[in-house]
C-alpha cells in the first residue's frame, strides 16, 4: 500500500468470531474446573459459564453441532474472545459463576432481577419483656427468628393475629420505659400491658413461650393448653379470665385458618415452580414453615435468550439463596442441571443437609402443582399488562415525537417545607412498569435547598445523577441511561434541565416538563418541551392518565423521602455528632440526664456514672461539647 493512503471502511479487517476463535483456546486449557467468559467484538460479556472440565466444556463450543440450540448458536457466532478462571472445585466454580452473573449481567445468562430480602418475625431476647416485631435484613439482634414470609403484608397480618392470641408487646424499648399507663392496645385486648405491671414476668414468659411454640408449628399443643386453662378458670368461677382465654382460642383458630395451604406432611420447605411461555418465565415460590404456608412471591427472571427449564431453575435456585438460608427441603417443578453440585452448594451455605426434590405424587406434588398453576396465571397477567404497557409507551412516543418507545423513563420531583429537609426523588418506569429497585433519593446539599429554590434543587439533582452516569458508564453500555426525562414543572424547570444537560455534553436525552395547567386541575396538564410552545392532551387520552400516574408516583416517592428525613431530624440531638455514640448509648445518656443540654453540661465523673460510658468515652463526650 502506498504511503499516505488509508484503508477504507470496507478494507478494514473484521474481528474474527465464532467456532474458530473458540477452538484457538483449546491448546492452552487443561481439565481443571473453573469459570469461562465469552465476549463479543466490543469486549462485552455475552455469557458466563462454569465447568467441571474447562477443556471439555469449551471444546463443545469449538465445532458446529446439531445439539446446539438457536440461543447457543447465536452466542457462539458473536464470540470474539474468551476469559478463564480456574478453581479448586466445581462448587467454587458455581459460586464464582453466580457472583459474576450478578455483577456483569450477561445477555445470554439467566438473571434473577429481584434482590429484596424477605421479612421475618423476631421475638427479642434482650429485654425482660420481649418485643415481637417484623425484622428484615441481617440477623444481628439476639432473639428467635421465624420466617421467611413472602411479604411485609404477610408478616403484618400474622403479627396482628398473634397479638390477639398471645398479647405480646410490639412497642419499642424506649416507649416501653416511658409508659405510665396502658396504651390503646391493652384496651382492645392486643397486649397484656407489661409496661405498667399488668402481667408478671413469669406470666409474660409463658405467653412468649406459647407464641414461639405456635410459630414452630405446635399450634395444637398451644390450643389444648389454652382450652385446659379456660376450663380451670371456669370451674374456679373466674369467668372474666375464662372469657379472655376463650377469645384467645378463637383468635388462634382464625390464625390457623388464615394461613392458607397448611400441609400436614411438610413441616419446612420452599416450593419453587416455573412456567415458561413465549420466551418469558415466571417462578413462583411458596414458603412452608411449621406446617403452615407463610405466603408466596413471584419472580420474572431474564431467561437468557431462550434458556430451557432446567437451566433457568438452576440459575434461579443458586442466585435466590445467595443471601438467604435455604430450608431443609426444596420442592421443584422441574429438575435442575447439576443437581449434585447445586445441593452441595446449598448445604455449604446452610451448614446442614439440603434436599432438592421433584415430587411426582402425594401432598408434595399437590403443593408443586398449586405453585405451577399460580406461576402460569401470574405470567399470563404479566404478559397482558406488558402488552398494555407497550401500547402506552408507543402512545407516549407518538404524543411527544420521540424516535422510539422509551425503554427507561426517569421522573423527577422535589419535596421540602420552605426549604427545610429538602429531598429530590427519582422514579423509573419501563416496559415492565415501575422499576422500584432503581428509585433514588437525593438529599439536597446546596444553598438551593435552604432557600426553597425549586429550580436550583432540580439542577443539583440532575447534575449529580448525570455526573454519576458519565463516570460509571461513559460509553452507555448498560441500560442505566434514560430514554426520556419527565420533570414536575413548567418552562422554568425545562430550561434548568437543558442548561444542566448541555453543560455535561448530554444532547440526546429528551426531556419534558409536566405542569399542572389551568387551576392546577388534574386533566388540564400542560407539557413543555425545549424550544416549543406548551401543549395539552385530550382529557380522555390514555397517555395523559399514564403520565399522571408517573408524576404521582414521583410525587409520592419524594414526599415519603421528605417525611422520613423530617422525622429523623425531629429525633436528632447534638449527641448524634459524637463519634462512638450509637442508639444504645444515646438512650442511656438521655435517660440518665434527661436532655442533651444536660449531657453537655455534665462533668467527667457524672458521665462515667452512666451505664456503658467508659472513662475514654466520657472524655470524648466532654471534649466534644467543651471544644464547641
pLDDT tens-digit profile of 569-617?
555 677 777 888 887 888 888 778 877 788 888 888 888 888 888 888 8
User: Across residues 140-168, what is the average pLDDT?
Assistant: 83
Please identify, in words, the CATH class of the domain defined by 268-380. Answer: alpha beta
Please state which architecture CATH assigns to domain 409-568.
Answer: 2-Layer Sandwich (3.30)
Q: Could you give the residue range(s) of every CATH 1.10.150.20 domain in the chain?
A: 574-627
pLDDT of residue 578: 83
Task: Say how far apart CA 428 and CA 406 lie, in whole Å.
Answer: 11
Q: Could you give the residue range(s) of every CATH 3.40.1440.10 domain in the chain?
A: 19-104
| % pLDDT > 70, the chain | 89
User: Across residues 378-405, what is the average pLDDT?
Assistant: 88
Is the pLDDT at 5 greater than 50? The verdict is: no
User: Across residues 147-163, what is the average pLDDT?
Assistant: 80
Please state which architecture CATH assigns to domain 574-627.
Answer: Orthogonal Bundle (1.10)
Is the pLDDT at 79 greater than 90? The verdict is: yes
pLDDT of residue 409: 95
Q: Could you give the residue range(s) of every CATH 3.30.420.340 domain in the chain?
A: 268-380, 409-568
Task: Say how far apart CA 260 and CA 266 lie, in whole Å.
Answer: 14
Could you say which of 3.40.1440.10, 2.60.40.1180, 3.40.50.1100, 3.30.365.10 is the CATH number of the domain covering 19-104?
3.40.1440.10
Is the pLDDT at 285 greater than 90? The verdict is: yes
Mention every residue, 6+ apart, whose C-beta is less than 8 A from residue 361. none
| % pLDDT > 90, the chain | 25
Task: Say how far apart CA 278 and CA 573 lie, in whole Å.
Answer: 57
Give the pLDDT band (50/70/90) at residue 553: very high
Residue 299 β-bridge partners:
283
Which of 252-256, 334-338, 482-486 has the lowest average pLDDT? 252-256
Q: Give the pLDDT confidence of 201-218 residue by residue, as tens digits.
A: 898 998 898 888 877 766
Task: Say how far apart CA 265 and CA 336 lie, in whole Å.
Answer: 24
Mean pLDDT of the chain: 84
pLDDT of residue 571: 57
Mention every residue, 6+ apart, whose C-beta is less than 8 A from residue 148. 118, 119, 120, 287, 294, 324
pLDDT of residue 7: 45
* Helix axes of 152-166 and 201-215: crossing angle, nearest 10 degrees: 140
Which of 268-282, 302-316, 574-588 has the lowest average pLDDT? 574-588
The more confident residue out of 521 and 315 is 315
User: Across residues 150-164, what is the average pLDDT?
Assistant: 80
- Cite the beta strand spans of 333-403 per DSSP E: 355-357
Is the pLDDT at 315 greater than 50? The verdict is: yes
pLDDT of residue 65: 84
Rg of the chain on CA atoms, in Å: 30
Cell of 425: 426523588
pLDDT of residue 238: 76
Beta strand pairing call for 484-488 and 511-515 = parallel
Q: Give the pLDDT confidence of 409-437 residue by residue, as tens digits.
A: 999 988 876 657 788 899 999 988 888 88
Global pTM? 0.65
Q: Give the pLDDT confidence of 82-124 residue by residue, as tens digits.
A: 999 999 888 888 888 988 888 888 989 888 876 567 888 999 8
Amino acid at each position: 500500500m502506498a504511503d499516505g493512503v488509508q484503508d477504507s471502511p470496507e478494507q478494514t479487517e473484521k474481528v474474527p468470531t465464532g467456532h474458530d476463535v473458540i477452538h484457538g483456546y483449546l491448546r492452552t486449557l487443561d481439565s481443571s474446573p473453573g469459570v469461562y467468559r465469552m465476549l463479543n467484538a466490543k469486549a462485552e460479556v455475552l455469557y458466563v459459564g462454569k465447568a467441571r472440565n474447562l477443556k471439555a466444556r469449551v471444546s463443545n463450543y469449538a465445532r458446529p453441532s446439531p445439539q446446539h440450540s438457536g440461543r447457543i448458536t447465536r452466542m457462539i457466532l458473536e464470540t470474539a474472545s474468551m476469559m478463564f478462571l480456574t478453581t479448586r472445585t466445581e462448587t467454587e466454580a458455581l459460586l464464582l459463576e453466580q457472583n459474576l452473573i450478578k455483577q456483569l449481567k450477561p445477555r445470554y445468562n439467566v438473571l434473577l432481577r429481584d434482590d429484596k430480602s424477605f421479612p421475618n418475625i423476631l421475638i427479642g431476647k434482650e429485654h425482660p419483656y420481649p418485643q415481637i416485631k417484623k425484622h428484615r435484613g441481617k440477623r444481628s439482634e439476639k432473639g428467635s427468628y421465624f420466617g421467611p414470609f413472602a411479604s411485609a403484608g404477610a408478616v403484618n397480618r400474622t403479627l396482628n393475629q398473634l397479638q390477639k392470641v398471645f398479647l405480646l408487646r410490639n412497642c419499642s424499648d424506649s416507649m416501653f420505659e416511658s409508659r405510665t399507663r396502658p396504651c390503646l392496645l391493652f384496651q382492645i385486648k392486643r397486649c397484656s400491658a407489661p409496661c405498667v405491671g399488668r402481667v408478671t414476668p413469669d406470666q409474660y414468659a409463658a405467653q412468649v413461650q406459647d407464641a414461639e411454640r405456635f410459630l414452630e408449628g405446635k399450634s395444637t399443643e398451644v390450643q389444648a393448653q389454652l382450652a385446659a386453662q379456660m376450663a380451670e378458670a371456669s370451674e374456679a368461677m373466674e369467668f372474666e379470665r375464662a372469657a379472655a382465654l376463650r377469645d384467645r382460642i378463637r383468635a388462634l383458630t382464625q390464625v390457623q385458618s388464615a394461613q392458607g395451604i397448611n400441609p400436614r406432611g411438610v413441616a419446612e420447605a420452599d416450593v419453587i415452580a416455573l412456567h415458561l411461555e413465549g420466551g418469558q418465565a415466571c417462578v413462583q415460590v411458596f414458603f412452608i414453615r411449621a406446617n403452615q404456608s407463610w405466603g408466596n412471591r413471584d419472580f420474572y427472571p431474564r431467561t437468557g435468550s431462550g434458556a430451557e427449564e432446567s437451566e433457568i431453575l438452576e440459575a434461579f435456585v443458586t442466585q435466590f439463596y445467595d443471601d438467604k438460608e435455604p430450608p431443609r427441603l426444596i420442592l421443584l417443578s422441574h429438575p435442575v442441571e447439576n443437581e449434585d453440585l447445586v445441593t452441595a452448594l446449598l448445604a455449604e451455605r446452610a451448614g446442614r443437609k439440603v434436599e432438592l426434590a421433584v415430587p411426582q405424587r402425594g401432598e408434595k406434588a399437590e403443593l408443586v402443582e398449586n405453585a405451577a398453576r399460580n406461576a402460569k396465571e401470574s405470567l399470563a397477567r404479566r404478559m397482558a399488562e406488558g402488552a398494555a404497557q407497550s401500547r402506552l409507551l408507543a402512545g407516549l412516543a407518538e404524543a411527544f415525537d420521540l424516535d422510539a418507545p422509551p425503554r427507561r423513563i426517569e421522573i423527577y420531583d422535589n419535596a421540602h417545607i420552605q426549604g427545610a429537609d429538602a429531598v429530590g426523588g427519582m422514579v423509573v418506569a419501563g416496559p415492565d412498569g415501575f422499576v422500584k429497585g432503581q428509585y433514588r433519593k437525593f438529599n439536597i446539599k446546596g444553598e438551593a435547598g435552604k432557600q426553597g429554590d425549586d429550580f436550583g434543587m432540580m439542577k443539583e439533582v440532575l447534575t449529580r445523577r448525570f455526573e454519576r452516569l458519565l463516570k460509571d458508564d461513559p460509553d452507555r453500555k448498560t441500560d442505566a441511561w434514560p430514554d426520556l426525562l419527565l420533570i414536575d414543572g413548567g418552562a422554568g424547570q425545562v430550561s434548568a434541565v437543558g442548561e444542566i444537560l448541555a453543560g455535561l455534553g448530554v444532547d440526546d436525552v429528551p426531556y419534558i416538563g409536566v405542569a399542572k395547567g389551568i387551576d392546577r386541575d388534574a386533566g388540564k396538564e400542560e407539557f413543555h418541551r425545549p424550544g416549543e410552545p406548551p401543549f395539552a392532551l385530550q382529557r380522555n387520552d390514555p397517555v395523559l392518565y399514564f403520565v399522571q400516574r408517573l408524576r404521582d408516583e414521583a410525587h409520592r416517592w419524594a414526599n415519603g423521602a421528605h417525611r422520613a428525613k423530617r422525622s429523623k431530624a425531629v429525633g436528632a440531638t447534638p449527641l448524634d455528632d459524637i463519634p462512638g455514640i450509637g442508639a444504645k448509648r444515646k438512650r442511656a445518656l438521655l435517660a440518665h440526664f434527661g436532655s442533651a443540654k444536660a449531657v453537655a453540661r455534665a462533668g467527667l465523673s457524672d458521665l462515667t456514672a452512666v451505664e456503658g460510658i467508659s472513662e475514654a468515652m466520657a472524655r470524648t463526650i466532654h471534649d466534644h461539647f467543651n471544644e464547641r
